[in-house]
Structure 1
Amino acid sequence: MVLPMWDNVLMVEQLNSVKFCFMRRCYRQVGCVKRFDSVHTCGVAVPSCRNPRTRSDLVSTVVADRVRDKPLTRPTDVVFDLKNEYGLDISYRVAWLGVEKARGEVYGDHATSFDQLRWYSDFVMQKNPNSYINLKFDQKIGSFVRYFISFYACIDGFNHCRPLLFLDGTFSKGRFKGNLLAATAKKANQAFAIVDSENSANWEWFLHNLKKLLGDRMKYVNASHKIGLMRKLRECAYAPTVTCFNEKFEVLKKANPTVIEDFMKDLHPKHWSNAYFRHFHDPLNGGGRYGEMCSNATESFNNWVGEPRHLPITRLVDIIRGQIMEQMSDRRVECTKWAGVICLKMEKKLVAAYNDSRAWCVSQANDDVYEVHSNPSVLVDVIKQTCFCFQWRINGFPCSHAVVAFRNSGRNIYDSIDSAFSIDTF
């Protein structure tokens, strides 16, 4: 419906009347309003890089939630996003200060965080009794020196997994830098420490605490020199027999006699070579290696704590605790979906070993010993859990020869598999 012209005029007069009343009220409160203009033409009221009112406090408020979700928020991203979302032009320095302030509000100040370690340590001992903590302060100047922690859940868990530890260190990227040293068990963190630098003294202190924690279960060897991983040294380490090791070692010595002789001076092959490592699965003599010859487990831990390494020390420790808790919970749920006796990954290895051995013929020597006619033929003792290929003893898991021997013996192969691989233990 089209309104008559006089109706339009009346509406305009009413609107003007409202405007006048509004202006009269404003006049009583703040002065005289000369003109009302609904179109805003004076520009954006918020500051820009050319307006000093754009401060890091404003940036901190805007990015606080983002920093909480993503501790490693980059100032360059903040500069781009504030320009894109709000039309704000800010400098990198303002963005950096804003992110630092937001991080301090969310995660605490770096300096204050060191003071909170005492409180945090006491709280851990209350809520997770029998944890192990060693906090070192310089009493003369009252400053932080080193911090070692292992939660009781990790200590107890180590009693149920393969007795292997992997050691490594990584940089801390907080304001005061330092290093994070870690002892990682297979599939789980065991203990970690924050120190000022990665040196012999700090590693000795770390291992001393680890020794207290684990007692006789822990064995380690100190080497005075490190050289790069060489192919020839790797071949020596993986050689399954002494004869094979000696052949590979002669080749290694010829590569650089002086360096190799000095390197091997205090490093007996029993500490690093499969051929000489004979205490397989014997808790009194150090246990087995379970086929592990590298520190990949610790490298995974380093990646796992990539973001927390940038946070204040107390927050760093607590985030790692939270991640350990979530990891244990996730794996507890994960294993309820598995069927069978041993973990899914090991079950797949067992199936692969069975498929590899199907074509081999087997001769029985006595109740326990079988000859497997592979290439070459080997003897398998299903009671002593040994095979002449030595892979069963090296890996702590039945090799293909053992699988076919068990198949012919009628025995249950799961009875010979280390409990560390079972679903119940996991």
Structure 2
Amino acid sequence: MPQVRADLEALTRIPSVSLDAFDQAHVEASAEATAALLRAEGLDVEIVREGGRPAVIGHRDGPPGSRTVMLYAHHDVQPPGDDALWDSPPFEPTERDGRLYGRGAADDKAGIMAHVAALRAHGDDLPVGVTLFVEGEEEVGSDSLATILERHGEKLRADAIVLADSTNWAVGEPALTTTLRGMIRVVVTVRTLDHGIHSGMFGGAVPDAITALVRLLATMHDDAGDVAVEGLRSGVAADLDYPESRLREESGLLDGVSTIGSGSLLSRIWTRPSITTIGIDAPSVAESSNTLVPSASAKISMRLAPDEDDMEAYALLKAHLEAHAPWGAQVEVHLDDRGLGFAADAQGPVYDQARAAFADAWGVPPVDIGVGGSIPFVAAFAEQFPEAAILVTGVEDPDARAHGANESLHLGEFERVCVAEAVLLARLGALPR
């Protein structure tokens, strides 16, 4: 583990932010560093680019007739955001109270190193064939993944796929992620005027676009906070103990602010649709004038039940927004991004061995959880490899703060993740064909 951690820290120091506005030479450096780690474990490695960021594919055969396991992670990271919000530099991994802080320390360079640790644990005696696929653009939507799967799919074909990009239920409590919500992201633009006009001279008779946009956004929820777009599917989450006090602590919900929606808390965040306004384009407070604004836009993120068709959901949202245009305002809806959810039939020998491996590493059996966020590439793998058992695992815990300031990795949990994956490979190698 000391060398695994040292290699993780070296990876974390590479600011491999895959967004266009950042220096992509760092993403290239991250791919090269990842490839070097895999070559050192005896894998045949290539870096592939199919119109997007570099991905790393490595393979090593197992014993004759053994299963093949594909291990997934990604080496790109989110932007650090405001450095002032970090308690230590985002790309200088720093340990505090048993956690390693740094952008990508948890999401998902620890996933890469968990795979490498499992290889090192077995040394020259791998019990199964192993293929590693380390993507370089997960944080920007995996746009070239479909092409990679089309052109390199046979290299990735496996009996089991371990996708290390999720979370555990709590520190000391492992989990398999069996459902993921899908997603739709749209930009809605509201127009009421062909130019800005004096608010004192025309206000009261002429609607402004910002007020019309606010009224339109408000139609997407009922008074209880449930999504009011008709026709969307909803599911019921697993019956796990998740009190409101834990939700408040993990989310940072302010005192006096109530939760929204109905049904169990886990259903609300795992299996029911949600709608969030994540950005608005309009004059800023500092730069605004006494003007009726002619147009305003908002970006809307809608999460979907795991079994919801993303394009059908988009059609329902678009129809809702167009039908609820206030005061006859012109409404234009543009699809920005989409992704299918995922629901695993988490039964069979591979899942049995995965649960046993988690129990070996943690000393307690794992729970099956859902995740309210969306990981569209999981659905892409499920479609491409329908016969493979897909295990969505992770190195994070509820306090990892992935994507936020002070992202961190619980080092004790990370060691258990590494042990569990090494044990899983051994258990799969012992299964009869």
Q: TM-score range by the shorter chain?
A: under 0.3
Larger RCO (alpha carbons 8 Å, 6+ apart): 2
Higher strand share: 2
Structure 1 length as normaliser, TM-score? 0.21
Greater Cα radius of gyration, structure 1 or 2: 1
Higher helix share: 1
Structure 2 length as normaliser, TM-score? 0.21
